[in-house]
Amino acid sequence: MPTILSHTIDIQAPADRVWAVLTDTAAYPTWNPFMTRLEGDLVVGARLAVTVVPPGGKPNNFSPTVTEVEPGRRLAWLGRLLATWIFAGAHSFEVRPLGPGATRFTQSERFSGLLVPLLRSTLRSTEAGFAAMNTALAERAETGVRH
């Protein structure tokens, strides 16, 4: 049975600024406590190199494939362990304008495959990682910090 994790935050910054922070992946090591590395082209079909560090956990490296890019609105990828029936994670980021200067940002992932029941405790720390990343993204977008 699939497991879906999601975290949403309202950010007091325009959607284009939130998108700019999200897609400036080279800066992730300077501000992102959860996704400390994201390398590769954000285009459909591209393979990425990603490192996540769940709160209290060890770094985990994986190479998902970008499945959707709607500039300014949505970015998604699919990661898997050997085959999707063993373990897969469909990850997405959504940027929704709430008006001028306000944005709703949602990060979610749908986990599926035979290993999901065995990884439930790990997935809980992943959800906490989403919250930490979303909060850091909000702070960066709201302050307009650029490195």
Q: What is the number of domains present in the chain? A: 1
Per-residue confidence band for 38, with pLDDT thresholds at 50, 70 and 90: very high
CATH of the domain at 25: 3.30.530.20
Which DSSP helix (H) or strand (E) runs through 16?
helix 15-23
Instruction: Please give the Cα distance from 132 to 34 (Å, whole number).
Output: 7
For residue 98, the enclosing domain spans 3-143
Please name which of 108, 43, 49, 92 lies closest in space to residue 71, comparing C-alpha atoms: 43
- Residue 24: CB atoms within 10 Å: 15
Q: How much is the pTM?
A: 0.90
- For 57-111, the pLDDT digits (tens) are 889 899 999 999 999 999 999 988 766 768 888 999 999 999 889 999 999 999 8
**Cα(first)–Cα(last) distance of the chain, in Å?**
42
The answer to whether residue 123 scores a pLDDT higher than 80 is no
Residue with the larger pLDDT of the pair 68 and 144:
68
